């Protein structure tokens, strides 16, 4: 299973993952992985251990395709996090482990960023709104995911 032309063009619309845009990247790449029918494999909704022998090759192909999609949308500065990943689910988990930590320090940093976020009057108001809602979503996601 290879990335189709439509999948390839979709990959071009995904921003490269950097240290500063994980949640935007995650949303965009999740749309591509859904379109490529790799989402359930990537996120672990499909349990590999419960698959029949004849289903394993399809799982492996989707896991490989997911790794390709993830790898092609990651900035070279982030390669170290996924370089040793065997497949898409491993790469996905590795990046989540880096960017979705729920430590007290991360929560404090997020709250500080939220309360210190300022509107640059030279830029459109939608940029400010987007920035604030992104920070709020990160805080809500962490509290829902990790309690």
Residue 61, domain extent: 5-99
Q: For 74, phi and psi rounded to 5 degrees?
A: -110, 130
Query: Residue 1: is its pLDDT beyond 60?
Result: no
> pLDDT tens-digit profile of 22-75?
988 999 999 999 999 999 999 999 999 999 999 999 999 999 999 999 999 999
Residues 141 and 88 grouped into a single domain:
no
CB within 8 Å of 143: residues ≥ 6 apart: none
Residues 87 and 112 grouped into a single domain:
no
Say how many domains are in the chain: 2
Predicted TM-score (pTM) of the model is: 0.69
Residues 73 and 45 grouped into a single domain:
yes
């Amino acid at each position: 299973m290879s990335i189709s032309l439509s999948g390839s063009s979709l990959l071009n619309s995904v921003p490269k993952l950097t240290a500063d845009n994980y949640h935007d990247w995650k949303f965009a790449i999740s749309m591509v992985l859904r379109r490529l029918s790799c989402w359930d494999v990537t996120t672990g909704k499909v349990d590999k251990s419960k698959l029949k022998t004849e289903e394993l090759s399809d799982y492996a192909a989707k896991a490989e395709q997911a790794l390709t999609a993830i790898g092609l949308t990651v900035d070279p500065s982030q390669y170290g996090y996924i370089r040793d990943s065997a497949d898409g689910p491993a790469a996905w988990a590795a990046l989540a482990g880096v960017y979705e930590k729920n430590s007290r320090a991360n929560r404090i940093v997020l709250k500080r960023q939220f309360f210190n976020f300022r509107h640059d009057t030279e830029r459109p108001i939608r940029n400010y709104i987007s920035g604030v809602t992104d920070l709020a979503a990160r805080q809500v996601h962490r509290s829902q995911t990790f309690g």
